[in-house]
């Protein structure tokens, strides 16, 4: 009896590589066995689209790793495009693997293939040579276009050939070809383009790169006749220049941008089918019975272990198992991923099948023929041997290199020579490397199937337990799989058990679930589609005990789904009582879900929490990489198991859903979506329906936020113009039209002037903006006495029943603000905003919590007051767009009061009404309150309200009192100056009748005493009188000197202090003036004052110089008198300054001299 392995052969097409030029010359027999897979059909369709007359994408690059059939596809493409429509259909029918369908185009231009296979040479030269060889085979071209062939021959020898010239010659050849042959254009197909790129990079010949760019641009321009350019690469274009300079890399990227890249990578299921076709190419297989027996041996167990890919039906899978004998089904399942990872090292799936590499399939079968073994099976240990033998140390440098290294180390730690032990460890290691990506776990049934072709083998069970005891592997409970284990000093199982015991019973299970699981919010799709507003429900876990302590509103979500977590002590009656309570009918935004079949979440949840806590708090893990990695892997698997258990427990059909106290029929995800939409319809029945995804969001993108900002600026600056004067179609215009124009909020009012107002009832029927507008208006109406926070207004609109998204709310607010022009007052940080410009609204949109508003109506008597004031003080206010312009009207009054001297702003010498008017204007924070309430009260009349009718008596009384009070404020300082002048006149005993004469008189008098006095204040007075310009400025300077403070800054007490001080200064000045007069008289009657003193025996006098001291006899009383005088002066040092004490001595001396003169004989 012959066995399969005795006659096993590989289909010839898989035993050699495709050489596209040689194989095309052979004819279509080179396509024998080629499979037109779905990927082939899809790629072919994309290329055919480039041949459409209006298409411009005619330069393509096929990119895929080694061994994926790109060159074979290129050969098929060349035959297909060079054939007639009938032959094209035949080709596809011969090589189809799936039904063709109706999408393929058999008609279209018939192209002449110009084929190149990459080599270490110049691309320009090879392109011309390939074109020359093709044209030589076209006799009509040779006959009619000898010059063209001569040109191609000459250009091939030009080393400095221009890239654009090459592209122009190809385009010219394309035109001539159409004239003399039956072809409609050229297919320029370059296989192995990477070799040309490497040559260009190492030779630093950019011309070979630019010829690609020139040809791609030429192909894009080639309408009739078309030129299709297709290149085949193993990796991305720019990766060939990965080590080039930045400038060169930029050039490469520009060239790559001229090509439309098409990834060429077969899916795993298709690669498996190709393996079967390669191993069983003959439909008349004499070993059908043997293959059937092979399939029967593995099919049931393979299906039980879920090895069949979901994209392969059971019948195809069984046929594939029969075809791939002698490869074990588990090995077969892992092959695509294995060789996709290693393909960049030029290892392909078919070289593994066909080559004589050590431990490959061919070598494996040859070894079994030699030893006469029966029915060989290529298992996972054989695959590991192949990878290790052919990859060597390069195995450890790849993405999964650490896993391969762990396997090698684990095999070295095995103490026994039993082959089964090594095979079990190798199987676990290989599954750890590749099985994770294929969802194939290293479970005991899988290991048993891999080595013993069944799902439960006692020997393997024994080996696994021994490996666990030896710390070679660990068992993951929740994934039911074994992992290689490098060993650790920590007992991980004990750590987990202790942490679980410590956490259990101390934490609310619902709180743990909320921390451990991040449920994806559920979207009410139907409602979102019908209203244009995406609404989602947040998911929250809650225990029965937590149901009664929940907050009544949700946070940052449109609704809330409560996943009720049953507990041991809670009864079904407790849950039903809460679910059916009458209050639930009011909570339309809340849905409760009760699992009907609960998996045990407690253990899973506690383990996840324990593992996370250990990883975060265990200090020993910092230096134990192996234990840390193992715990992290366990946490990942336990978290996955927990997520699946929660999803299963609360999935529709496994749970009961309650809304508004009633159980709802929810058995599918469609039912769930309908329930969420019904809940949204009931909760947000007053919500607008705005269809603009740019703005109807809770969080705006930067582009949308900019568009909203530009729209607000246009509303503020151009609200009176149609369309807000937009030019073109920027995104802000789309927002404007979808909200304000369609609803009639912005509409023409009169004389081609546009404005904002409530939504039009007819236009707003579909947008439903009226409820939100009314809510805004009602909030304003309630904010007439005290400012109300804008954040509270925004929260009101965002909450049920309006549910306006945060992106739209500021726009509606600005529209209402403009519709109530002049009646809305804004505050920022509690301060009145004088000019609410775009900068203010930008801050308001970013931080609404900093702002508040108040409404001030200006109807009735208020409007009359405003118009009278504006007419008298600020006529420009009446022409403003926004009326009433209260701030502009009252600004002249505010400026008048704030520009008053400080004395006028504080003095109490004016009348009570004037003081009230001054206080009202100085403390004004809002123009409406100041104008209509505080000023009238200060003027002795009742406040003006919007509701009260016009009262002429009240009106005239108010303005008369206001006028008088303002005049009194204006005259307060001039009156002060006049009063100071009068007090100076009185203090100095002046006789001048006006200020100028007084100034002149005092200046002359000061000149006479300055030289004889040491009084600093008198000297300073003289300076101020001499240096002052004409006018009353000298009065302010004198007042500042006397009061030690500028007159404009005086308070009433400063004025009183001046009144006292000026009297004292005048007295001292007059005394000094008299002394000066006496001295001058003495100087006129006697030679010197010393002569007079000398005659006064025994009285001394004050000498003019030390040299002229009089000579008098000493007397004991003189020294004693001097000591007494000095002590007396010292005791007065705290009450009198030096100048005052000198003045006292001077007056005593003056009196003494006068008495002496009286006693002196004639």
Three-state secondary structure string covering 691-720:
CCCCCCCCCCCHHHHHHHHHHHHHHHHHCC
> Residue 451 domain-assigned?
yes
pLDDT of residue 642: 87
> Residue 697 domain-assigned?
no
503 and 452 within one domain: no
What is the torsional sign of CA 573, 574, 577, 579?
negative
pLDDT of residue 394: 59
Domain-ending residue, one of 263, 292, 319: 263
223 and 123 within one domain: yes
More confident residue, 751 or 461: 461
- List own/partner pairs for 699-707 with CB under 8 A and 24 or more apart: 699/806, 699/807, 700/807, 703/731, 704/731, 704/807, 707/731, 707/732, 707/735
Lowest mean per-residue pLDDT among 171-175, 724-728, 878-882 = 878-882
Can you tell me the distance from the alpha carbon of 790 to that of 854, in angstroms, rounded to the nearest whole number?
Answer: 10
Does position 1103 have pLDDT exceeding 50, yes or no?
A: no
User: Strands 185-191 and 559-565: what pairing?
Assistant: unpaired
Residues, the chain, total? 1162
Domain-ending residue, one of 970, 1005, 1030: 970
**Domain at 73, CATH number:** 3.40.50.300
Q: How much is the average pLDDT of 133-146?
A: 82
Can you tell me the distance from the alpha carbon of 943 to that of 862, in angstroms, rounded to the nearest whole number?
Answer: 9
Q: How much is the average pLDDT of 319-341?
A: 84
Give the confidence band of 974 by pLDDT, cuts at 50, 70, 90. Answer: very high
Going across the sheet that includes 824-828, the strands are 788-789, 851-855, 824-828, 831-832
Can you tell me the distance from the alpha carbon of 275 to that of 281, in angstroms, rounded to the nearest whole number?
Answer: 10
Does position 708 have pLDDT exceeding 90, yes or no?
A: yes
Within 10 angstroms of residue 109's Cβ, the number of other Cβ atoms is: 20
Within 10 angstroms of residue 728's Cβ, the number of other Cβ atoms is: 5
Number of domains in the chain: 7
Within 10 angstroms of residue 344's Cβ, the number of other Cβ atoms is: 12
pLDDT of residue 188: 93
More confident residue, 377 or 822: 377
User: Strands 851-855 and 788-789: what pairing?
Assistant: antiparallel
Tokens of 777: 């208006």
Rounded to the nearest integer, the mean pLDDT of the chain is 82
398 and 286 within one domain: yes
584 and 500 within one domain: yes
Peptide bond just before 537 cis, omega within 30 deg: no
Domain-ending residue, one of 1038, 1069, 1085: 1085
306 and 255 within one domain: no
Does position 47 have pLDDT exceeding 50, yes or no?
A: yes
Does position 581 have pLDDT exceeding 60, yes or no?
A: yes
Q: Which residues pair with 564 in a beta bridge?
A: 542
263-314 per-position pLDDT tens digit:
887 777 777 877 887 777 665 566 778 888 888 888 899 888 888 888 888 8
Helix (H) / strand (E) element for 189: namely: strand 185-191
183 and 46 within one domain: yes
Q: How much is the average pLDDT of 413-439?
A: 80
522 and 478 within one domain: no
> Residue 14 domain-assigned?
no
Q: Provide the total of helices (H) and of strands (E) in the chain, helices listed first.
A: 50, 19
pLDDT of residue 1089: 42
Can you tell me the distance from the alpha carbon of 1009 to that of 1007, in angstroms, rounded to the nearest whole number?
Answer: 6
1098 and 1006 within one domain: no
> Residue 506 domain-assigned?
yes
Does position 370 have pLDDT exceeding 60, yes or no?
A: no
Does position 452 have pLDDT exceeding 80, yes or no?
A: yes
771-811 per-position pLDDT tens digit:
999 999 999 988 887 889 999 999 999 999 999 999 999 99
655-689 per-position pLDDT tens digit:
999 999 899 999 999 999 999 999 999 999 999 99
570-580 per-position pLDDT tens digit:
667 778 888 88
Can you tell me the distance from the alpha carbon of 22 to that of 657, in angstroms, rounded to the nearest whole number?
Answer: 69
Tokens of 134: 């093709």
Q: How much is the average pLDDT of 554-578?
A: 78
Give the confidence band of 342 by pLDDT, cuts at 50, 70, 90. Answer: low
> Residue 106 domain-assigned?
yes
372-414 per-position pLDDT tens digit:
445 788 998 988 888 888 776 656 555 566 677 777 777 777 7
511 and 404 within one domain: no
User: Strands 185-191 and 111-117: what pairing?
Assistant: parallel
More confident residue, 35 or 789: 789
Can you tell me the distance from the alpha carbon of 618 to that of 634, in angstroms, rounded to the nearest whole number?
Answer: 16
Give percent of the chain with pLDDT exceeding 90.
23
Residue 498 sits in which domain range? 493-683
Can you tell me the distance from the alpha carbon of 23 to that of 1086, in angstroms, rounded to the nearest whole number?
Answer: 147
707 and 573 within one domain: no
More confident residue, 967 or 396: 967
> Residue 12 domain-assigned?
no
Tokens of 1050: 């005086």
> Residue 692 domain-assigned?
no
**Alpha carbon 541 to chain centroid distance?**
29
Lowest mean per-residue pLDDT among 6-15, 525-534, 828-837, 900-909 = 6-15
365 and 230 within one domain: no
More confident residue, 908 or 1102: 908
Which of 401-415, 717-731, 999-1013, 1024-1038 tops mean pLDDT?
A: 717-731
Query: Could you give the 3-state DSSP secondary structure of residue 1063?
Result: helix
Tokens of 447: 């290991």
> Residue 218 domain-assigned?
yes
278 and 157 within one domain: no
Can you tell me the distance from the alpha carbon of 570 to that of 576, in angstroms, rounded to the nearest whole number?
Answer: 11
């Amino acid at each position: 009896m012959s066995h399969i392995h005795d006659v096993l052969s590989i289909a010839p097409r898989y035993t050699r590589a495709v050489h596209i030029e040689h194989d095309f010359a052979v004819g279509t027999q080179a396509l024998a066995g080629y499979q037109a897979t779905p990927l082939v059909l899809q790629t072919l369709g994309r290329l055919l689209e480039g041949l459409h007359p209006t298409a411009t994408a005619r330069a393509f690059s096929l990119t895929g790793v080694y061994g994926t059939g790109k060159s074979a596809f290129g050969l098929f493409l060349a035959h297909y495009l060079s054939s007639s429509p009938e032959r094209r259909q035949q080709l596809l029918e011969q090589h189809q693997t799936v039904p063709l369908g109706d999408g393929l185009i058999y008609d279209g231009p018939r192209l002449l293939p110009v084929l190149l296979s990459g080599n270490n040479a110049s691309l320009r030269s090879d392109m011309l040579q390939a074109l020359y060889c093709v044209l030589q085979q076209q006799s009509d071209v040779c006959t009619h276009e000898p010059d063209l062939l001569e040109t191609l021959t000459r250009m091939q020898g030009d080393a400095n050939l221009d890239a654009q010239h090459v592209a122009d010659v190809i385009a010219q050849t394309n035109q001539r070809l159409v004239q003399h042959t039956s072809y409609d254009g050229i297919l320029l197909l370059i296989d192995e383009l990477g070799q040309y790129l490497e040559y260009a990079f190492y030779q630093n010949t950019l011309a070979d790169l630019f010829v690609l760019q020139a040809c791609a641009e030429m192909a894009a321009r080639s309408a009739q006749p078309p030129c299709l350019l297709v290149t085949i690469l193993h990796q991305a274009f720019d990766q060939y220049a990965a080590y080039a300079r930045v400038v060169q890399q930029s050039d490469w990227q520009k060239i790559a941008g001229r090509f439309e890249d098409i990834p060429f990578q077969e899916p795993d299921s298709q690669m498996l089918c190709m393996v079967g076709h390669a191993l069983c190419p003959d439909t008349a297989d004499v070993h059908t019975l043997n293959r059937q027996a092979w399939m029967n041996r593995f099919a049931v167990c393979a299906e039980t272990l879920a090895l069949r890919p979901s994209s392969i039906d059971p019948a195809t899978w069984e046929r594939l198992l029969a075809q791939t004998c002698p490869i074990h089904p588990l090995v077969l399942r892992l092959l695509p991923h294995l060789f996709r990872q290693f393909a960049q090292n030029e290892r392909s799936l078919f070289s593994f099948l066909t080559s004589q590499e050590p431990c490959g399939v061919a070598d494996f079968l040859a070894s079994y023929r030699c030893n006469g073994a029966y029915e060989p099976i290529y298992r996972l240990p054989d695959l590991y041997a192949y990878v290790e033998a052919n990859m060597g140390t390069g195995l450890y440098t790849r993405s999964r290199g650490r896993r391969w290294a762990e396997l090698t180390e684990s095999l070295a730690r095995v103490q026994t020579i039993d082959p089964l032990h090594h095979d079990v460890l190798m199987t676990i290691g290989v599954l750890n490397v590749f099985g994770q990506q294929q969802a194939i776990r290293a479970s005991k049934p899988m290991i048993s199937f891999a080595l013993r072709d069944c799902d439960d083998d006692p020997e393997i069970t024994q080996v696994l337990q021994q490996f666990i005891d030896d710390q070679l592997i660990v068992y993951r409970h929740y994934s039911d799989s074994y992992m290689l284990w490098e060993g650790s000093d920590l007992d991980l199982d004990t750590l987990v058990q202790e942490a679980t015991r410590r956490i259990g019973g101390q934490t609310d299970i619902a709180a743990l679930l909320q921390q451990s699981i991040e449920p994806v919010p559920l979207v009410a799709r139907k409602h979102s589609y019908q209203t244009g507003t995406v609404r989602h429900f947040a998911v929250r876990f809650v225990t029965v005990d937590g149901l009664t302590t929940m907050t009544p509103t949700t946070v940052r979500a449109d609704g809330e789904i409560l996943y009720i977590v049953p507990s041991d002590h809670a009864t079904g009656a407790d849950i039903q009582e809460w679910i059916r309570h009458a209050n639930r009918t009011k909570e339309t935004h809340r849905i409760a879900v009760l699992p009907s079949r609960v998996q045990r979440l407690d253990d899973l949840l506690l383990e996840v929490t324990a593992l996370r806590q250990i990883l975060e708090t265990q200090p020993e893990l910092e230096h134990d990489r192996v234990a840390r990695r193992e715990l992290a892997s366990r946490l990942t698997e336990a978290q996955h198991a927990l997520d699946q258990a929660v999803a299963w427990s609360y999935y529709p059909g496994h749970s009961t859903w309650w809304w508004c106290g009633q159980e709802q029929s929810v058995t599918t995800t469609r039912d769930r979506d309908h329930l969420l939409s019904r809940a949204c319809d009931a909760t947000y029945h007053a919500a607008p329906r705005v269809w603009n995804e740019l703005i109807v969001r809770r969080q705006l993108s930067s582009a949308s936020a900019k568009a909203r900002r530009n729209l607000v600026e246009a509303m503020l600056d151009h609200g009176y113009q149609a369309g807000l004067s937009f030019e073109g179609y920027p995104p802000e215009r789309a927002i404007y039209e979808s909200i304000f124009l369609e609803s009639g909020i912005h509409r023409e009012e009169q004389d081609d002037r546009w404005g904002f107002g409530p939504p039009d009832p007819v236009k707003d029927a579909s947008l439903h903006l009226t409820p939100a507008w009314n809510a805004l208006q009602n909030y304003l109406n309630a904010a007439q006495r005290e400012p109300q926070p804008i954040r509270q207004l925004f929260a009101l609109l965002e909450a049920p029943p309006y549910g306006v998204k945060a992106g739209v709310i500021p726009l509606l607010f600005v529209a209402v603000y403009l519709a109530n022009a002049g009646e809305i007052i804004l505050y920022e940080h509690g301060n009145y905003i004088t000019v609410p410009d775009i900068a203010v609204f930008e801050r308001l949109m970013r931080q609404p919590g900093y702002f508040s508003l108040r409404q001030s109506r200006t109807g009735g008597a208020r409007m009359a007051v405003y118009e009278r004031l504006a007419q008298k003080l600020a006529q420009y206010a009446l022409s403003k767009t926004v009326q009433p312009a209260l701030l502009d009207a009252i600004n002249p009054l505010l400026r008048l009061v704030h520009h008053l001297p400080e004395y006028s702003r504080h003095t109490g010498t004016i009348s009570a009404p004037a003081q009230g008017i001054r206080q009202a204007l100085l403390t004004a924070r809002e123009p409406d309150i100041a104008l209509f309430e505080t000023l009238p009260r200060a003027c002795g009349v009742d406040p003006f309200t919007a509701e009260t009718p016009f009262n002429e008596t009240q009106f005239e009384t108010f303005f008369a009192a206001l006028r008088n009070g303002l005049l009194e404020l204006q005259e307060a300082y001039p009156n002060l100056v006049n009063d100071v002048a009068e007090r100076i006149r009185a203090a100095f005993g002046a006789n001048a009748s006006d200020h100028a004469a007084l100034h002149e008189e005092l200046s002359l008098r000061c000149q006479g005493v300055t030289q004889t006095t040491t009084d600093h204040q008198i000297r300073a007075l003289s300076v101020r009188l001499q240096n002052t310009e004409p006018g009353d400025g000298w009065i302010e300077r004198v007042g500042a000197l006397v009061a030690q403070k500028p007159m404009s800054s005086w308070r009433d007490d400063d004025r009183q202090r001046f009144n006292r001080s000026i009297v004292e200064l005048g007295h001292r000045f007059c005394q000094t003036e008299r002394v000066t007069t006496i001295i001058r008289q003495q100087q006129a009657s006697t030679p010197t004052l010393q002569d007079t003193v000398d005659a006064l025996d025994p009285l001394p006098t004050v000498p003019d110089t030390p040299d002229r001291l009089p000579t008098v006899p000493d007397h004991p009383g003189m020294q004693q008198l001097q000591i007494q005088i000095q002590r007396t002066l010292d005791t007065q040092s705290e009450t009198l300054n030096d100048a005052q004490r000198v003045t006292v001595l001077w007056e005593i001396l003056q009196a003494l001299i006068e008495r002496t003169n009286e006693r002196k004989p004639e």
